[in-house]
Amino acid sequence: MIKILQVRNIDSFVESRRQKTSEKDKKTVQSILNDVRKNGDSAVKKYERKFNGRKTSQLRVSEKEIKEAQSKISRKEVTALRDMSVHLLHRRKILAIAERVENRASVYRYFVPIPSVGCYIPGGQARYPSSVVMSVVPARQAGVKRIVVVSPPGRDGKIDPLTIAAAKMCGATEIYKVGGAQAIAALAYGTKSIPKVDKIVGPGGKFVSIAKSFVSDQTAIDMVAGPTELGIIADASSNPELVALDLISQAEHSKDTMCFVITQSKTTAKQIQKSIEKLIPGTERSSIIKESISKNGFIAVCKNQNEVIELANKIAPEHMELMVKNARSFSKKITGAGLLLIGKNTPSAASDYLLGTNHILPTSGFGRTRGGLSFLDFNKLQTIVESKKSTLREISKSLKTLTDAEGLPNHYKAVKRRLD
């Protein structure tokens, strides 16, 4: 079951626990990308047949299929999706930068929406209409004109009806029945059926994450987002059962999920271990949970609080729960997590849906450098500058000094000619 590990060297410990991408997986993904880039739709359909076991004739979801999907979902499900969408809208602060600065020259800065985005929505072992809301809603808010949703179909050749209905409700302009690395390739390079997009966003399994990383030299991406990660910092005040339930709630995503605890107390570690062993048997999706926790889960025992903080910030997981005394004060010391959840009543399971935060978050240690998906990911900060001849005259002396120092004399000549 879950391992209890004594931390002796933090850097070595982090390196040993970080999930690594195998060369075999990299080669497989690169082969798929190359094939789709060269052969377009035929390659996409080939991989859909290979991985989903069903021939796909039409990649785009038709209006008829959309209406059919909408007829299959309940009013309760529609209400829940709207509730999620409204909370994501109303609880988000947008960093508004629209300014004009008059110095030597007039400098303008303002946001411009990205023309087109592709939103990857996972499928397979579970359905994720919530990820539709988390990606399509901020894209729509930002003013993106073309919002493409891709999601793997089931064995019946169809996308989950609730995923389709959510995409339509949130404002997606196109929906395609394709998943995995082949979907990322189609979005990045374009095919006859799926025109390329300017940016790809959304969570996914290891093949999707590898593919996003590989195509980023051609098409912008949001971040590496997946597989799921949850860290919990616990102490003697923590409820072992709640800690165990939260770990289980994220471990049910897939066998590749990494769920762990950091604590100073061996007693607390053993209590949490015992709670996990008690709760897993008989729970839904227990085979996935058991494999995930056995393969990737751990409880790290540190010597002191400083070690706890350092380890948490260096692992930098997607979610980090603080189930400790004085959690709010403690939170000021944790800077590496994609999302920080404070106190026993802020479980990651709730933040995945209805707390107003976005559940598309950085994984693989990238929480050290960025946070979750937001309005800002669907905009570029446009900068415009306008200068005058008098300004060029004012800066010419310093400009010559700098261009001479860098060995770029033609920069100065281009300015000097305007002053002759």
pLDDT in tens, 77-91: 999 999 999 878 544
- What distance in Å separates the CA atoms of residue 249 and residue 86, rounded to the nearest whole number? 24
Per-residue pLDDT at 101: 59
Q: Coil, strand or helix: which one is 69?
A: helix
* Catalytic one of 48, 319, 321, 359: 319
Q: Coil, strand or helix: which one is 384?
A: strand
Is 319 one of the annotated active-site residues of the chain?
yes
Is 318 one of the annotated active-site residues of the chain?
yes
Backbone dihedral angles phi then psi of residue 162, each to the nearest 5 degrees? -70, -35
Per-residue pLDDT at 106: 84
Q: Which two tokens stand for residue 241?
A: 């059962």
Extents of the domains making up the chain: 3-19+227-355, 23-221, 392-419
* Residue 111, strand partner residues: 381
Helix-, strand-, coil-residue percentages of the chain, each rounded to 5: 45, 15, 35
- What distance in Å separates the CA atoms of residue 154 and residue 226, rounded to the nearest whole number? 20
Per-residue pLDDT at 94: 52
| Spans of the chain, pLDDT less than 70 | 89-103, 124-125
- Topology of domain 3-19+227-355, per CATH? Rossmann fold (3.40.50)
CB 36 within 8 Å of CB 211: no
* DSSP code at position 234: E
Per-residue pLDDT at 125: 64
In the numeric block, the tokens 């400790």 are attached to 324
In the numeric block, the tokens 């019946």 are attached to 156
CB 168 within 8 Å of CB 20: no
CB 237 within 8 Å of CB 325: yes
Q: Coil, strand or helix: which one is 62?
A: coil
* The two domains 3-19+227-355 and 23-221 share their CATH topology (first three levels equal): yes
Per-residue pLDDT at 110: 86
* Catalytic one of 318, 321, 394, 406: 318
- What distance in Å separates the CA atoms of residue 26 and residue 221, rounded to the nearest whole number? 18
Q: How far is CA 97 from the centre of its chain?
A: 24
Q: Coil, strand or helix: which one is 201?
A: strand
- 96, with CB counted inside 10 A (0-12, 13-18, 19+), is exposed
- What distance in Å separates the CA atoms of residue 83 and residue 79, rounded to the nearest whole number? 6
- What distance in Å separates the CA atoms of residue 182 and residue 398, rounded to the nearest whole number? 52
Per-residue pLDDT at 92: 44
pLDDT tens for residues 380-405? 999 999 999 999 999 999 999 999 99
Q: Is the pTM of this model over 0.95?
A: no
Correct CATH for 23-221 of 3.40.50.1980, 3.20.20.60, 3.90.580.10, 3.40.367.20: 3.40.50.1980
Per-residue pLDDT at 91: 41
